């Protein structure tokens, strides 16, 4: 996993945008090493390209939106999580509308299609962003921080004043298998009263029981129930994988979050990137990557397990 990867073939999706309610078609295409993930609004003439980077985030209300000038693409977090989770570093994303289709509310449909399209490895090494010093952002009772670690890990605590949700905690020690098997299929969720309010304000126009878990006064109203007993916190971690991928590199650090969402996720990435004393960028050789971490890279011996 030390070399950059792209898709082996194209993958195309069509579906409804969660908030716009518009039918959107999206195609993933292979890209050269060093390209990163680039969205192209092909419904415009000329097409407008937007790199999926933290610096291009223009809105974090209810989803993560990137933009360039007056043009934007929203709800990118599930697709970004799927690309990161499948090990895709470089891809072109052709999209004919302003929002990534919500599919079933999770990253699983994207993961399935990416897996089917195949993965092509390059000979160009990845750059890993290794956290050296803790960085935190706090807003009231919400907090997100990232600390040094030998691994990429996300620990999330969530609480809601609702008997069906209450408090849930979960950690992801990141690997492709752990993400795909245990988190990718966790769906987005919302409370019935809030969904009705959002629709009255022109939001969640494409939301339904087909693409979200909806929680009523007495619990989940989806007839099929939950995919996991703790599906809510698993989805929060899925969102986090997508949001933190906008740092532009593979991460090595431990994210600890409490009641965090897209806005705080983005603020943590922004705070980390503007403090170069808190991280270092590393390209691993095959020998170093497979050797004991602190022996192969003595300059990183400060990392804790």
Q: What is the set of active-site residues?
A: 262
**Residue 74 has which token pair?**
């929203």
Do 170 and 276 touch, CB atoms closer than 8 A? no
Judge if the upstream peptide bond of residue 142 is cis by omega within 30 degrees of 0.
Answer: no
Q: How does DSSP assign 238-302, residue by residue?
A: HHHHHHHGGGSSEEEEEEEEES--HHHHHHHHHHHHT-GGGEEEE---HHHHHS-HHHH-GGGTT
The greatest distance separating any two alpha carbons of the chain, rounded to the nearest whole angstrom, comes to 59
Taking residue 287's Cβ as centre, other Cβ atoms within 10 Å add up to: 8
Distance of CA 245 to the CA centre of its chain: 6
Distance, CA of 268 to CA of 266 (rounded, Å):
5
Please answer whether residues 206 and 123 qualify as being in contact, where contact means their C-beta atoms are separated by less than 8 angstroms.
no
Contact indicator for 28, 117 with CB cutoff of 8 Å? yes
Which of these, 97, 96, 59, lies nearest to 77 by C-alpha position? Answer: 59
CA distances from 80 to 31, 121, 215, 244, 287 (A): 15, 19, 26, 9, 30
How far does Cα 221 stand from its chain's mean position?
26
Please return the burial class of 116, using the count of CB atoms within 10 Å of its CB with bins 0-12, 13-18 and 19+. exposed
């Amino acid at each position: 996993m030390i070399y950059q990867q792209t898709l082996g073939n194209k993958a195309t999706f069509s579906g409804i945008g969660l908030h716009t309610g518009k039918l959107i078609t999206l195609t993933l295409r292979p890209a050269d090493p060093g390209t990163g993930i680039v969205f192209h609004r092909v419904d415009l003439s000329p097409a407008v390209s937007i790199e999926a980077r933290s610096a291009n985030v223009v809105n974090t209300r209810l989803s993560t939106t990137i933009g360039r000038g007056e043009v934007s693409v929203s709800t990118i977090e599930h697709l970004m999580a799927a690309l990161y989770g499948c090990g895709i570093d470089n891809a072109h994303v052709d999209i004919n509308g302003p929002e990534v289709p919500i599919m079933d509310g999770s990253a699983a449909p994207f993961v399935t299609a990416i897996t089917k399209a195949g993965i092509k490895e390059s000979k160009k090494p990845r750059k890993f962003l290794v956290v050296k010093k803790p960085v935190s952002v706090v807003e009231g009772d919400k907090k997100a921080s990232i600390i040094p670690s030998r691994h990429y890990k996300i620990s999330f605590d969530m609480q809601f004043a609702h008997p069906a949700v209450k408090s849930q905690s979960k950690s992801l020690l990141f690997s492709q298998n752990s993400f795909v098997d245990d988190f990718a299929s966790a769906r987005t969720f919302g409370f019935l009263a809030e969904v009705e309010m959002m629709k009255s304000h022109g939001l969640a126009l494409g939301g339904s029981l087909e693409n979200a878990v909806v929680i009523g006064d007495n619990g989940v109203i989806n007839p099929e129930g939950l995919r996991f007993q703790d599906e809510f916190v698993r989805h929060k971690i899925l969102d986090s994988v997508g949001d933190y991928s906008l740092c532009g590199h593979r991460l090595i650090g431990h994210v600890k979050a409490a009641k965090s969402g897209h806005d705080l996720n983005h603020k943590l990435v922004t705070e980390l990137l503007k403090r170069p004393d808190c991280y270092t960028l590393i390209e691993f050789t095959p020998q170093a990557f497979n050797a004991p971490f602190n022996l192969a890279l003595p300059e990183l011996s400060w990392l804790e397990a």
